[in-house]
């Protein structure tokens, strides 16, 4: 059983030192699955929308500019965007950016806050980059690769053959603390492994885009499509933006991508920059869709259209599916709830793993004392398990 010993060592050497990282990123991600709902529950005053016709992008931005005349607007999120909770959210540029919530029915300012200062914003910063910038993001990404190794070695250790399959799916009660945590560790690990591995892999793809390109396009025997020329090449740089934002929105929805709904509009920040409208089809797997329309802000001319329905199968898998698979929106509420449970599994596995490690250490010490004839009191069941594992 030399191979099994190697698997056990790799599993322990990675899981015990890095278990805290795995549990932290997974638990924060589990809470973020219902992040928009949590944010609305904690800050209801920011999401009080008056029923009726929407005032439109232009009036919403004008209301914000009256309160923040010296700040530039970078983007406006439409009420249809899932995380906006039915209101306009105007993003003012800066470090950090400021998010201003606007009532879509009246155009009144509901409130403003810095990006990331909410509980959900903090959880996102921890989950994505450990609240440590780009370095933290890389640590999380490489941690995901190591977690995949831990999952694989754990599955290898769990499998002991068909005849003993049932033993890996039971929890023995009333037979000591060690056996309870040992069985719980195995059961939670194998039950969560398939979905957890998929969630982690998608997270790795979101962090390391070059790796995602190589793997996904490689599966289809193709290469990533070439990057299109910047839309700014066709913008008239000497003309000021005079086209109303609502007109840009209608051009995108009615002419460029019929059948899709606008989720946000990014405003040009420099002369020659295009305005970019992001849209979502009703059947898009992404919460915010993957359609982009680049427009000349001074004329409303369509410069470039990126329509996800025109993606190849490889492009659709690469660009439209990793994020939904990571957060669980592809299966509605039940799947999101399952993602939450699986996201909490690493914390349970860390706790049970530490108990197992502690009990094994005590058993080894007790066995050593017993061999010397000093008669230390130990549980025979734990020694038997330890001896059996040594023989294997």
What is the rounded radius of gyration, in angstroms, for the C-alpha atoms of the chain?
Answer: 27
Average pLDDT over residues 137-164: 93
- pLDDT reading at 276 higher than 90: yes
User: pLDDT tens-digit profile of 15-62?
Assistant: 999 999 999 999 999 999 999 999 999 999 999 999 999 999 999 999
pLDDT > 70 fraction of the chain, expressed in percent and rounded: 90
Would you state the torsion angle of the CA atoms of residues 346, 352, 353, 358, taken in this order, to the nearest 10 degrees?
150
Average pLDDT over residues 363-383: 60
pLDDT value for 390: 46
Helix, coil or strand: residue 200: helix
Displacement of CA 212 from its chain's centroid (Å): 15
Q: Which two tokens stand for residue 144?
A: 């995901």
Residues 6+ apart with CB under 8 A from 96: 114, 115, 116, 117
Fold of 231-311: Nuclear Transport Factor 2; Chain: A, (3.10.450)
- Full-model pTM: 0.88
Distance separating alpha carbons of residues 370 and 313, to the nearest angstrom: 64
Average pLDDT over residues 137-159: 96
Residues 6+ apart with CB under 8 A from 68: 92, 98, 100, 112
Is domain 51-117 given the CATH code 3.10.450.40 in the classification? yes
Q: Is 9 exposed, middle or buried (0-12, 13-18, 19+ CB in 10 A)?
A: exposed
pLDDT value for 385: 55
Q: In the structure, what pLDDT confidence band is assigned to residue 236 with cuts at 50, 70 and 90?
A: low
Distance separating alpha carbons of residues 311 and 368, to the nearest angstrom: 65
Distance separating alpha carbons of residues 354 and 22, to the nearest angstrom: 14
pLDDT value for 174: 72
- pLDDT reading at 386 higher than 60: no
Nearest to 53 by CA among 97, 9, 106, 3: 106
- pLDDT reading at 361 higher than 70: yes
Q: In the structure, what pLDDT confidence band is assigned to residue 12 with cuts at 50, 70 and 90?
A: very high
Nearest to 352 by CA among 149, 185, 190, 206: 185
Q: In the structure, what pLDDT confidence band is assigned to residue 372 with cuts at 50, 70 and 90?
A: low
User: pLDDT tens-digit profile of 184-220?
Assistant: 999 999 999 999 999 999 999 999 999 999 999 999 9
Q: In the structure, what pLDDT confidence band is assigned to residue 238 with cuts at 50, 70 and 90?
A: low
- pLDDT reading at 246 higher than 80: yes
Residues 6+ apart with CB under 8 A from 44: none
pLDDT value for 382: 54
Sheet holding 73-77, edge to edge: 109-114, 98-102, 88-92, 73-77, 261-266, 275-280, 291-295, 302-306
The helix (run of H) or strand (run of E) holding residue 260 is none
Q: In the structure, what pLDDT confidence band is assigned to residue 342 with cuts at 50, 70 and 90?
A: very high
pLDDT value for 392: 46
- pLDDT reading at 77 higher than 70: yes
User: pLDDT tens-digit profile of 98-140?
Assistant: 999 999 999 999 999 998 889 999 999 999 999 999 999 999 9
6 vs 95, higher pLDDT: 6
Average pLDDT over residues 339-353: 97
- pLDDT reading at 281 higher than 80: yes
User: pLDDT tens-digit profile of 282-312?
Assistant: 999 999 999 999 999 988 999 999 999 999 9
Nearest to 257 by CA among 289, 297, 298: 289
Domain coordinates in residue numbering, the chain: 2-33+124-215+333-361, 51-117, 231-311
Ramachandran angles phi, psi of 297, nearest 5°: -70, -15
């Amino acid at each position: 059983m030399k191979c099994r010993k190697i698997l056990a060592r790799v599993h322990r050497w990675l899981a015990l030192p890095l278990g805290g990282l795995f549990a932290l990123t997974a638990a924060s991600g589990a809470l973020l699955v219902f992040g928009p709902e949590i944010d609305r529950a904690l800050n209801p005053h920011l999401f009080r929308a008056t029923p009726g016709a929407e005032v439109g992008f232009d009036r919403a931005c004008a209301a914000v500019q009256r309160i923040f005349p010296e700040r530039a607007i970078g983007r406006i999120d439409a009420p249809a965007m899932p995380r906006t909770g039915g209101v306009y959210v105007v993003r003012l540029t800066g470090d950090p950016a400021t998010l201003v919530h606007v009532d879509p029915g009246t155009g009144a300012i509901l409130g403003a806050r810095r990006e990331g200062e909410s509980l959900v914003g903090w959880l996102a910063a921890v989950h994505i980059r450990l609240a440590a910038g780009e370095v933290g993001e890389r640590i999380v990404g490489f941690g995901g690769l190591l977690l995949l190794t831990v999952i694989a070695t754990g599955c290898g250790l769990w499998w002991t053959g068909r005849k003993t399959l049932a033993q890996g799916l039971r929890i023995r009660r009333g037979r000591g603390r060690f056996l309870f945590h040992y069985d719980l560790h195995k059961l939670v690990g194998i039950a969560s492994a398939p979905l957890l591995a998929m969630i982690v892999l998608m997270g790795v793809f979101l962090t390391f885009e070059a790796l995602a390109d190589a793997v996904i396009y490689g599966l289809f025997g193709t290469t990533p499509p070439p990057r299109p020329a910047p839309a700014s090449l066709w913008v008239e740089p000497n003309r000021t933006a005079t086209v109303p934002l609502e007109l840009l929105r209608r051009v995108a929805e009615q002419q460029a991508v019929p059948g899709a709904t606008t989720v946000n509009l990014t405003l040009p920040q420099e002369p020659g920059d295009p305005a970019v409208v992001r849209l979502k089809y009703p059947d898009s797997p992404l919460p915010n869709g993957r359609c982009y329309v680049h427009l000349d802000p001074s004329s409303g001319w369509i410069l470039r259209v990126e329509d996800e329905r025109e993606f190849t199968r490889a492009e659709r898998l690469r660009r439209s599916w990793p994020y939904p698979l990571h957060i669980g929106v592809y299966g509605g509420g039940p799947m999101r709830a399952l993602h939450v449970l699986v996201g909490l599994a690493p914390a349970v596995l860390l706790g049970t793993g530490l108990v197992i490690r502690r009990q094994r250490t005590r058993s080894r010490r007790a066995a050593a004392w017993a061999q010397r004839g000093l008669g230390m009191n130990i549980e025979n069941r734990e020694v038997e398990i330890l001896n059996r594992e040594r023989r294997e």
